[in-house]
Amino acid sequence: MTINTKLENDTVCFHCGLSVPRDKTWGIDFEGQWRPMCCPGCEAVAQTIIDSGLASFYQKRTAYSVTATSLDDVLEPSVVEQPKTDFADTELLETSLIIEGITCSACIWLLERQVKQLDGVVSFNVNYATRRARLKIVEQSIHVSDVLEAIRAVGYQAAPFDTSKQFSNLQKERKDFLGRVGVAVFCGMQVMMMTLGIYIADPSEIDADLLQFLKWMSALLTLPVVLFSGKPFLQAAYRDIKNKMPGMDVPVALGISLGFLASLINTYSGRGDTYYESVCMFVLFLMLARYVEFLTRWYAISSSERMMQAVPMVAKRVVDDGSVETVSAKSLLLGDQVQINPGEVIPADAVVLKGHSQVDESILTGESEPINKSSDDHLLGGSHNLTNTLMARVSCVGKDSTLSTIARLIDRAHAQKPAWVEAADRFASLFVSMVILVTASTAIYGYSQGQVDWFSTALSVLVVTCPCALSLATPTAYTAAMSALFGQGIIITKGTALEKLATIDRVIFDKTGTLTQGAMSLSNCKVFGPQDQQKIMDIAISLESFSDHPIARAFKRETVRVNHQAINVEQASGRGLRGEVEGSVYYLGSEDYINESLRITLDGVDASVTQVYLADETQVLASFEIQDDIRKGAQLTVAWLKGQGKKVSLLSGDKHTPVQWLAKQVGIDDFKFDASPSDKLNEIGRLQLKGERVAMVGDGVNDAPILAKADVSISVSGASQLARASSEVLLMNNDMQSLRYVFRLSNRVSAIIKQNMGWALVYNIGALPLAMGGYVEPWQAALGMSVSSLVVVLNSFRLRFVLPSKNNLEKVAGVRVG
Amino acid sequence: MGSLYFLIPVSVILVGLIAVIFLWAVRSGQFDDLDGPAHSILFEEEVDDELDKEPESNDSKTE
C-alpha cells in the first residue's frame, strides 16, 4: 500500500518515475485519473499495456519500470536471424532471449502474458534471477522479430542471446556445484548416522561382524563423496602439484585421499580406526563454502542491465540506389554509408558526409555537453545523435574502433593492478609446504622408531594442521559480508576489495553520471512582475545562453518562443549575469548576486532548494527553482568519508565552471577538470606512486580503464557494462549512501579476518606438538579441525548483523540532514 | 539386530536413488530460477480470476 501511494505521485511519470517536464501534456487516462507521462515513449508503452488487458501490472509492480525508448523504427525481420530448428521432425523453434529493463517480479508476469498472447508462441518463460527467457515458437507462423517487437511494445529491450557464451558456462558450473553438494549431503548424512551408532554404543554391545558390516557400508557411501563431490579438490591439487605451486587444495586433497585410503586398508584388515565420517564432513563443509562464494559471483555476472546500451543492434545502411536498408550493426563494413536519425545511437566509428547535428559523447568521453558535428567530423561508435539526421561513412570497424580501444586500455590497466592476491597465494603455498613437510617427517620418524600407530599419528598431524580454519578465515568473512551487502543492493565481485577498502587513503569520484545524474531542469517558475511567464522565460534563456554554468544548462533545455538578443552581457564569476535585452538591463543570478547588485533584500527565500532570480533595475521579476541532478546521498557520503579521514577528490573531463560548482555543492575541495581518460589514468598512477591507496567511483565507458587501475573500483547504478566489468564493487542502488555501508563493513571485515587468522594460528600451532607426540587420535583431530572451522564460520557470520535495517539508517541520515 | 543386515542396505539403495533423482532434477533445470516462481505463484491466481471475469464484463459492455 505504501508502495502504491509512493508510486502514484503526480509530478513524476506514471510509467517510469522520472519527473514530468513542465508544460508537457503526455499522459493517459487510467482508472478515472489522469496519469502524467514523461515522454511519448512511456505514453505509448502504457497505452499498449492497458489496451492488451494487462493493466493490473500497475497494481502488481513494486518498482517503477525503465523509461521507454522511442518506438519509431520498426525492427526488420532480416535483422534478426531466425534460429535453426533443433528437432528435425517438428516445426518448433527454441531460442534464448536476454531481456533488459526488468525491475520487479511483476515485469515477468507482464512479459509472459504479453508474449504468450501472440499466435504461434508455444511457450515463453522468463528467468527472474538471470533476466533471460526461453522462447518456443512454431516455425512457420511467427518470426522471432515479431516477439522482440511485442516485448518492445511494453517497454522492454530484448535481444536474441547467444547461448555459447560465458553465461551458459556459469550455468553449467552452478549445476555442477549443486549436484556435488547434494551428493555430499545425502551420503554424508548416512555415514554420519551409522558412525553415530558406533560412537554411542559400548564396544562390547556391537559384535565384530556387524561392526565390520557397518564399516563396509560406510566405505561404499563415502566413495561417491570422495570421487564425485571431492573431485574438484583432487583435480586442483593435481594441477597445483604439476605447476609446482601448492595451494590450499593440496593438503585438502591429501587429507581426503589419505583418510579414505587408510580407512579402506583398516577396514580390509579389520584393525585400526576408520575416518569415513571425517572425510565426508570435510568435503561437505569445504564444498558448501565454495558454493556460496560462487553464488555471489554468479549474481554479479548475471545482472544484465544496460548490457546492450553501448553498441546498437541495428544500423541504417544506404544502398547504391539511394534507398535505406536496416542491417545489424555488426555486419557494417569499412566505407559503408549509414544514415543516423536523431535519437539513435551511432552504430560505428564514422566520418560525417552530410548534415550537421549535436552528438552526446558522454558515454565514451565523459563530456556532458553535446558536441556539434558537421561534414568531415569524426563520430564515435556508441555515442548518441541528438538533433538532426546525419549521413556518415564508416571509418573504423571491429578491433580498431573506439570501444575496442577502450577495452584494450582496460586490459592494460588490469595488468598493472597492484599485486595483492599473489602475496596471499605465496603465503598459502609456503604454509602448505610446511604442513606436508611436518607430516612426512612425523611419519618417517614414527616408522623408523617402530611405532605401531605411526600412520594414525601422521594423519592426525595432517588433519590437525590442515589449514582449514586458516583457509576459511578470509573467504567466510568475505562471503558473510558479501551477502549482507547484497541485501542492500551492493554486489562485491572480488572479496579482496573489501579488505583493501579498509586501507584506502583517497576516494576519487567521476562527475557526470556518478555524482550527477541526468541533467538539471527547471521545476518551478514564479512571476512577481507584470510580464507574462513566457516573456520572462525567453529573457532568462537568452541571458543564460552566454553562460557555461551548470545551472544555465537547465535553461538551455527549455524552448524559446521569441529569441531575444542579449547585448553587453557581463558574467560575475559563476554567481550571476547582467545583460541588456530590448534596451532594458536585467540581472539573473543567485540571491547574493541580486542582493549585491540591486541592494534589495529578498524575502521568502527557501534555502533547501537552488533558486535563481531574474530582476530588472528596480525589482525582482521572477524566481526559478532548479531541480538538482546531484545523486542522492552524495553530499552526506562525501562528508562522512572526510570524517573518516579519507581524502576525497573529483576528477572530471568536464570544463572548469561546472566541475567547480559541483565540487562546492558536494563539499569536495580537491578537484581536477578537463581530464581526458589517459590524464585520469596518469593521475591515479601518480597518486599510487606516492604510496596512496586509491578507490575510484565511476560509471561510464571512459572510466573503465581507470576503474581497472585503481586499488578498489566502484561503479554506481546505471553504469555501463564495461565499467561494471572492471569494478569490484557494484552499487545497484541509486543512493550514494550505499558507499558508506561498504566502507563501514570493510572495516569490520578486516577486523574479523584478523580475529579468524589469530584463532586459526593459535589452534594450529597449539595442536601440532600434541598431534606429533601421538596424543591426538585422528577422530579427535577431525573434531578439533571441525570445531575450529566452526568458530571461524560463526565469527564471520557476525558480519551479517553489522548493517542496521534500512529504517534505522534513514533515521540516522535524517538526523544528519536536519 | 539381525534386521540391520536388511535395513541398512535398503537405506543405502534409497540414498542412491535419492542422489540420482536429485542429480536429474539439477541437470534438467529444476533449480535454475529460485526467485521467479516464488513471485509468479501469487500472480497466476489473479490471472485466472481475471480470465473468468473478463467474458462477463465484455458481455455487459456489448449489451
Same domain, A724 and A763: no
Same domain? A326 vs A372: yes
- List all residues 6 or more positions away from A9 whose beta carbon is below 8 Å from its beta carbon: none
| Amino acid A410: pLDDT | 53
Q: Are residues A226 and A250 in the same domain?
A: yes
Is A179 a residue whose pLDDT tops 90?
A: yes
Q: What is the mean pLDDT of chain B?
A: 71
Contact assessment for residue A480 and residue A799, using Cβ atoms and an 8 Å cutoff: yes
Contact B22 A186 (CB under 8 A): yes
Q: Does B13 touch chain A (CB under 8 A)?
A: no
In the prediction, which pLDDT does A615 show? 85
Contact assessment for residue A788 and residue A282, using Cβ atoms and an 8 Å cutoff = no
DSSP, res A568: E
For residue A770, what are the domain limits?
431-472+750-818
Is A75 inside a domain boundary?
A: no
Out of A39-53, A384-398, B46-60, which region has the weakest mean confidence (pLDDT)? Answer: B46-60
Residues of A in contact with B12 (CB under 8 A): 190, 217, 220-221
- pLDDT at site A485: 78
Enter the C-alpha cell of residue A174.
552452478
Residues in chain B: 63
| Triad A445, A448, A453: Cα angle to 5° | 75
| Same domain? A291 vs A351 | no
The number of C-alpha atoms within 13 Å of A697 and in the hemisphere containing its C-beta is 31
Instruction: Work out the pLDDT band at A376, boundaries 50, 70, 90.
Output: confident
Q: Does residue A511 fall inside a structural domain? A: yes
- Region A265-277: what's the mean pLDDT? 82
- Whether A508 and A645 map to the same domain: the answer is yes
**Cα–Cα distance, B50 to B46 (Å, whole number):** 6
- Point out the residue among A53, A113, A178 whose CB comes nearest to the CB of B31: A178
Q: Is the domain of A173 the same as that of A24?
A: no
Collapse the DSSP code of A672 into the 3-class scheme (helix H, G, I; strand E, B; otherwise coil) and give the result: strand
A219 vs B contacts (CB less than 8 Å): none
What is the average pLDDT across B35-55? 55
- Confidence at A219, pLDDT banded by 50, 70, 90: very high
Quote the distance between the C-alpha of residue A641 and its chain's center: 22
Q: Which CATH number covers residue A574?
A: 3.40.1110.10
Split at pLDDT 50, 70, 90, the class of A225 is very high
Answer yes or no: are the C-beta atoms of A617 and A598 closer than 8 Å.
yes
> Whole-prediction pTM value?
0.56
User: What ranges do the domains of chain B cover?
Assistant: 1-32, 33-63
Q: What average pLDDT does the segment A778-801 reach?
A: 77
pLDDT in tens, A638-674: 999 998 888 999 988 777 777 888 888 888 888 888 8
Q: Is residue A667, in this structure, part of any structural domain at all?
A: yes
The DSSP-derived string for A613-665 is: EEE-SSSEEEEEEEE--BPTTHHHHHHHHHHTT-EEEEE-SS-HHHHHHHHHH
| Cα atoms found within 13 Å of the Cα of residue A710, Cβ hemisphere only | 30
Quote the minimal CA–CA distance from A85 to chain B in Å.
20
On chain A, the residues whose CB falls within 8 A of the CB of B18 are 186
Give the whole-number percent of chain B exceeding pLDDT 90: 29
pLDDT tens figures, A73-126: 555 554 555 555 444 456 677 777 777 777 777 777 788 888 888 888 888 888
SS3 (DSSP) at A220: helix
Phi-psi domain of A181 (left: phi exceeds 0; alpha: psi -120 through 50; beta: other): alpha
With residues binned 3-state (H G I as helix, E B as strand, rest as coil), the percentages for chain B, rounded to 5, are: 80, 0, 20
The interface pTM score, or ipTM, of the predicted complex is 0.72
Pair (A352, A396) in one structural domain: yes
Per-residue pLDDT reduced to its tens digit, A485-499: 776 777 777 667 777
Please list every residue in chain B whose beta carbon sits closer than 8 Å to the beta carbon of residue A129: 32-36
Residues A684 and A556 reside in one and the same domain: no
CA atoms within 13 A on the CB side of A323: 3
Q: What is the mean pLDDT of residues A177-198?
A: 90
Tell me the residues of A at the B interface, defined by beta carbons under 8 Å apart. Answer: 53, 56, 60, 105-106, 108-109, 112-113, 126-130, 171, 175, 178-179, 182-183, 186-187, 190, 194, 207, 210, 213-214, 217, 220-221, 224
A284 lies in the same domain as A172: yes
pLDDT bracket for residue A216 (50, 70, 90): very high
Closest CA relative to residue A346, chosen from A360, A335, A333:
A360
Whether residue A418 lies inside any domain: the answer is no
Query: Other CB atoms closer than 10 Å to residue A45's CB: what's the count?
Result: 25
Strand partners, A516: A630
Confidence band of A583 (pLDDT split at 50, 70, 90): confident
Above 50 in pLDDT, residue B52? no
Tell me how many domains chain A contains. Answer: 7
Regarding whether A806 and A663 lie in a shared domain, the answer is no
Say if A70 falls within a structural domain.
Answer: no
> For residue A813, what pLDDT is reported?
39
Confidence of residue A307 (pLDDT cuts 50, 70, 90): very low
For the ranges A334-343, A425-434, A473-482, A770-779, the maximum mean pLDDT occurs at: A334-343
pLDDT of residue A805: 45
Could you identify the residue written with the cell 529569441? A563
Q: What whole-number percentage of chain A has pLDDT above 90?
A: 5
Radius of gyration of chain A from its Cα atoms, rounded to whole angstroms: 33
> Which of A579, A606, A627 delimits the end of a domain?
A627
DSSP reduced 3-state for B57: helix
Whether residue A659 sits in one domain with residue A533 = no
For residue A645, being part of any structural domain is answered with: yes
Q: How confident is the model at residue A712 (pLDDT cuts 50, 70, 90)?
A: confident
Question: Which amino acid, A542?
Answer: S
Residue range A401-438, pLDDT digits in tens: 666 665 555 555 545 444 444 455 566 667 777 878 88
Residue A173 has pLDDT above 50, yes or no: yes
Contact status of B6 with chain A (Cβ, < 8 Å)? no
Q: Judge whether A308 lies within some domain.
A: no
Q: How confident is the model at residue B29 (pLDDT cuts 50, 70, 90)?
A: confident
**CB pair distance less than 8 Å for B47 and A109:** yes
In this structure, of A517-531, A542-556, A676-690, A797-811, the range with the lowest mean pLDDT score is A797-811
Report the chain B residue with the minimal C-alpha distance to residue A191. B12
Provide the pLDDT confidence category of residue B60 given band limits of 50, 70 and 90. Answer: very low
Query: Are residue A615 and residue A636 in the same domain, yes or no?
Result: no
